[in-house]
Amino acid sequence: MRRLSATSRIAFAPGSLWPAVRTRSAAALASGALQPIESRLEELEEGGIRFQLRAVTNREAMARAKAARPPDFDPFLPWDPELFVADVSPDYVCLLNKFPALPHHVLLTTRAFEEQETPLALADFEALWACLAERDALGFYNAGKLAGASERHRHLQLAPPLVAGIASAKSAQRAEGERTPLPSEASAAEAVTPIDAVIDLARFDGPLGSVPALPFLHALARLRDLRDMPLREASTALLGLYREAARAFGCERAGRPYNLLVTRDWMLFVPRAREKWEGISVNSLGFAGALLVRSDDALERVRAAGPLALLRRVGVSR
C-alpha cells in the first residue's frame, strides 16, 4: 500500500506501528499488564472455509479479572500507560487489548468518549486505513452489545493475519498425523482470514456484492483500487461504501447492531439479529472464521451445529 505523506493527520512514522506493538506487548506481558486468554485451537472445515475454533482454558482467571472491575468502568479513560502503543491521529490512539485471544491484537480507541453504537465517520476510517497501510491485518468493528462489543467507549480493533500462525500453532498441539490441505490453501500466503477462501466467489451488482457460501445477510466491497489513493481519498471511499451497506440493511442509525470487517482487499458488513447462540457470544472475528468459546461443551455444540449455522442464527438468515 502507498505510504502516507508527511502532511497527513497520522501521528506515527511509516513502518513504526507493528514494531511498537511487538515491543509493548513483550513489556506488558512481562509486567502482567497484558493478560492473554489461553485457549486450545482446533480447525473445522465447512463450506470451503477452515474455521478456527478456540476453547478457553483459563476461564477462572478471566472471570476474576473482570469481576474486579467497578460498574461503568471505562478502560480507555484513562487508558493504562503500560498498554499504550502509539498516537494514531488527533482522534485515536492505539492500545494493546488487555485480554487478547490472539497475539498482537490491538485496539484503536477514541481519545474522548464516544458511544460504540454511533455510526462511523471519516475520522474512524482514516485511523483504520492508516494502520492497515502498515501491514496485512484484519480491522473490525462491533457496533454495540448485540454485535459482540464489550465496551461502550468507541473502539475499532486490529488483528494480524488470522491464518499466518495457524500452522505452527497446530503443529505444537498435534502429537502425530497430518491434515489434508484444502484446495484453497494454495493461496494461503495472501489470505488474512479463513473466509478469504470464499471471498473470490462473490457476485456483484454494483459496488456491493455477496458471497453465495455465506448463509447470512451481508454486503461485500472490493478495496484493491483504494490501495494507491491518498489517505483522505481512500478513507472517503471507504466511508461511502460503509454508508451504502448500512442503508441497505437499515443500520444507518445509532443502536442498529452490525459487524464490520476490513482488510486491504475487502470490506464485509454483517447486520446482526442477536448477540449469542446457545450462550456463545459472537463478534466480528466469528464472521472472519474465528470463534472463541468458553468451554469444551460449547465447542462440542459448535461442532454439532456447524459454524455457518451458528453465524446464520446470530446474523440475519438469507
Pull the grid cell for residue 292: 472463541
Q: Is residue 11 pLDDT above 70, yes or no?
A: yes
Q: Is the pLDDT at 256 greater than 80, yes or no? A: yes
- Mean per-residue pLDDT, 245-262: 96
pTM given for the model: 0.90
Q: Stretch 172-180: mean pLDDT, rounded?
A: 38
Kindly state the cell numbers that stand for 64.
476474576
For 95, phi then psi, to 5°, come to -125, 150
Judge whether 108 and 21 are in contact, CB under 8 Å.
no
Q: How confident is the model at residue 1 (pLDDT cuts 50, 70, 90)?
A: low
- Of 237 and 65, which is predicted with more confidence? 237
pLDDT value of position 8: 66
* Mean per-residue pLDDT, 263-287: 97
- If you average pLDDT over residues 116-145, what whole number do you get? 97
Tell me the fold of 17-314. Answer: HIT family, subunit A (3.30.428)
Structure confidence at residue 72 (pLDDT): 83
What pLDDT is attached to residue 180? Answer: 35
Q: For residue 6, is pLDDT > 80?
A: no
Q: What is the pLDDT of residue 164?
A: 66
Strand, coil or helix: what is 299? helix
pLDDT of 210 above 50: yes
78 prior amide bond cis, ω within 30? yes
Residues 34-88: tens digit of each pLDDT: 999 999 999 999 999 999 999 999 877 667 766 777 888 999 999 999 999 999 9
For residues 142 and 164, give the distance between their C-alpha atoms in angstroms, rounded to a whole number: 23
> Could you give the percent of the chain with pLDDT greater than 90?
83
**Looking at residue 61, what is its pLDDT?**
67
Picking from 54, 233, 20, 115, the residue whose alpha carbon sits closest to that of residue 11 is 20
What's the gap between Cα 220 and its chain centre?
15
